[in-house]
Amino acid sequence: MGPMVKPALRRAWRGRRTVQFGVARTHALRLAPVDRVAAAFLDLLDGSRSLPVLRAEARALGLPAERADELVRRLAAAGVVADPAADGAALAGLGGAPGALERLRPDLASLSLVHAAPGAGAARLAARRGMRVRVLGAGRVGAAVAAALAAAGVGRVEVHDGGSVRGTDVAPGGLPASAVARRRADAAARLVREAAPLPAPRAAPGADAVPLSLAVVAPRDGLAAYRPEPAETGPWLAAGVPHLFAGVIEATGFVGPLVLPGGTACAGCARRFEAEADPDAPAMLAQWRSGRCARPVAACDGPLAAVVAGLAAAHALSFLDGELPTSTGARWEVALPLLDWRAERIVPHPGCGCGAAGRTEGVGAATAGAGRATMAG
Ligand SMILES: [Zn+2]
């Protein structure tokens, strides 16, 4: 096996001397100048030829070996070349049946575009298998987040919730109608097992539990994630576990903030800014949270729940793969019926004990007056 032009990128001539790899703007790039000989050489980069074989075939085309090497180097530096051998080794390391690996191929193709170095995408996919994520809530959003993470190769996905599944919890991508009346925890665990392409990794006997990589706070009552109680998220802060809020409240979906304990604004930071901006907010929140005010049925449209679950899972995966997605210190919101996305930045509060304000003092001081500012959506 040898170098291969990434099959995930469509290729087209832009004029006579430029080859463009990719359609969509973010991951597309151009290679120029490319003459007919170099173009013929590109066709040989399908992964079936080793470098020595490529050099020999390049010479036959009239392309000196040094130029062939240089072309491969340029393509690799541009992130257009995959390494099938490295990908194959990473996938073999996952230890699944071929059918299971086939289910992960679209995810691997996506990772190979985002992480451009040869083999880097496969390494990310392999790393997901060692991660452990806890989802709090097995409602329309939470269960679907858990299923999406498991399907994307996250090795350990656990869902915490109490009680039994009701018809209102059922949603496409989440709990099926057949789960109604079963314990939520059991039904969610089964959903995760069925979504995962590979069996859950076994812990070595006597080994410590794998630490949590991330918690996703997606309770059935969206208010608990939209206006989270600092007392409830305190343990995540204390343990240093990154946590992402997501949910639907009153036909409005939201994803974020992703809280990096001590690094970005926490639930307590948001609560303090809110109380400063609106002195009535604490008393209103107490009313909203009281049993008298609780809604028997949440206004949680099925497609909106699916969108929120998918976006939350995508933000979670981006973080698990080593990036800081735009939900870091910000909340994305989308409301029916027009569905325009807006982001609200949530900055660290200097009076909050989480310590994020000290870490990001410049950012906090610059925007503390506003507390929350709307970013372009
Ligand atoms: Zn804080």
Q: How far is the CA of 377 from the centre of ligand 1 (A)?
A: 24
Distance 310 CA to ligand 1 centre (A): 27
Helices 65-77 and 36-44: angle between axes, nearest 10 degrees: 70
Domain 129-375 CATH (choose: 3.20.10.10, 3.40.50.10860, 3.30.420.40, 3.40.50.720) = 3.40.50.720
Residue 350 C-alpha to ligand 1 middle, in angstroms? 8
The tokens for 288 are 């909203």
Residues near 351 by beta carbon (within 8 Å), at least 6 away in sequence = 272, 357
Closest CA to 308 of 238, 243, 217, 224: 217
Residue 368 has what pLDDT? 35
- 349/346 Cα distance (integer angstroms): 9
141 vs 170: CA distance, rounded Å: 10
Name beta bridge partners: 331: 344
Is the separation of the CB atoms in 58 and 41 below 8 Å? Answer: yes
Model's pTM, two decimal places? 0.90
Which residues are bridge partners to 332 per DSSP? 255, 343
CATH topology of domain 4-82: Outer Surface Protein A; domain 3 (3.90.930)
- Ligand 1 mean position, distance from CA 252 (Å): 24
Cα 81 to ligand 1 centroid, rounded to whole Å: 43
Give distance in angstroms: CA of 330 to centre of ligand 1. 13
pLDDT given at position 376: 37
Phi-psi region of 251 (alpha: psi -120 to 50; beta: other; left: phi over 0): left
182-191 per-position pLDDT tens digit: 999 999 999 9
Tell me how far the alpha carbon of residue 359 lies from the centroid of ligand 1, in angstroms.
11
Question: What is the structure's pLDDT at 193?
Answer: 97
Query: For the chain, which residues score pLDDT lower than 50?
Result: 361-377
Residue 253 CA, ligand 1 centroid: distance in Å: 23
User: From ligand 1's centre to the CA of 238, what distance in Å?
Assistant: 11
Domain ranges of the chain: 4-82, 84-127, 129-375
- Ligand 1 midpoint to CA 235 (Å): 13
Query: Can you read off the two tokens belonging to residue 38?
Result: 């170099």
Distance 223 CA to ligand 1 centre (A): 19
Report CA(128)–ligand 1 centroid distance (Å). Answer: 28
CA of 226 to the centre of ligand 1 (A): 16
Determine the Cα–Cα distance for residues 134 and 253; give it in Å rounded to an integer: 20
Strands (DSSP E) found in the chain? 4-5, 11-14, 18-21, 29-31, 81-82, 132-136, 156-160, 214-217, 243-249, 252-259, 330-335, 341-346, 372-375
Question: Per-residue pLDDT tens for 117-134?
Answer: 888 999 999 999 999 999
Please tell me the predicted confidence (pLDDT) of residue 369.
Answer: 35
How far apart are the CA of 308 and the centre of ligand 1, in A? 24
What's the rounded Cα separation, in Å, for the pair 240 and 344?
24
